[in-house]
Structure 1
Amino acid sequence: MRKLLAGCVCSLLFACAAFAGEGHDHGEEQAAVAPDSPTAPRLVMESTQFELVGTLEGDGLHLFLDDHASNVPVTDASVELEIAGQRIKAEAEADGSYHAAMSQPLPEGEHAVMATILAGDTSDLLTGNLDVHAADAMHPEPTATPSVNGWGFLPWLLGLAVIAVALTVFTLRHDIRARGKKS
């Protein structure tokens, strides 16, 4: 019976060691995973001819213009924007994108945007909205997430301990009864 009890205790220890698994670092330093970084306000406008996607970055909008049907970048177009009372001609960048430098930053809120596109013999007028967030909305506080290194495994460990105690009591009672019958 003692061998059975020793086997149960060893099984419990192996189960606890196996459960520790991933995330159990034995005190070693692990790289922290950064939360998803917030994205800058985005602008998406499309028609049957073009798709214009923009990101508000620093002093203006970084724009990508594609042919709507083929999704091929359009790099030789004239792009002009009207937003918050500003009329801005976007300049072509070396990487095929466009940059629309703004004379003044956009205030917080939702802004209607109108884009005039001239590419070869094709012209189009696109409209959309750009929602400019407050600085706090752009950098939210990190939220706590459950971790295996925390107490997430405690209920399992307690359950295994209860099973071990029950097996020990059962084995001892069985051992006592067996000795009583021999006497």
Structure 2
Amino acid sequence: MKKNMILILTALTFSILLISCGGSKSLSETETGDIPEWYLNTPASENYIYEAASATSRDMDLALNKAETEGRAKIGRTMEAKINSMQKKFEEEVGEGENSELLSQFTQATKVIVSKELTGSRVKEKKFIKDGSNWRTYVLMEYPIGAAQKAFLNKIKDNNQLYTRFRSTDAMKEMEADVEKYEEWKKNN
């Protein structure tokens, strides 16, 4: 009988431990089925920069604002990478040494665009998931590439000397073509 009692107490203790360890799911353990496909596989486009982000908060609007801010920050980093590669093209075509002043002005234009010109970004998709007292918000942000390049071209055109050197490069021709596509897209949408 004593053995049975020990066996029952052991089984009961083990059961209680299993139940207490189960707990409720936390936001970090959200099942993959709840996560939007566009978050797991961010779309790609030649006309837009897309970035997915998520955030949590007890307040649904705050979770949305935090996710949007993170999405815009990701767009800014992506734009900076694209503009830096464009800057490298420009440096290759123009050269260094005697033109170092022009290159530093070009770099300054990229910084201004990345820090100030995200006004065309918007939420393309969003999803809210309630978990206990918290909200998790997923957003897919989009930013038209042509808008970024248009802002960049306008900044370069503000400096006549820089614009004169840059307009004959292949990078300038590519940007102007992208801006034309963007303007055409704006007319049709």
TM-score (norm 1): 0.26
Q: Give 1 or 2: higher helix fraction.
A: 2
Structure with bigger gyration radius: 1
TM-score (norm 2): 0.26
- RCO (CA 8 Å, sep 6+): is it higher in 1 or 2? 2
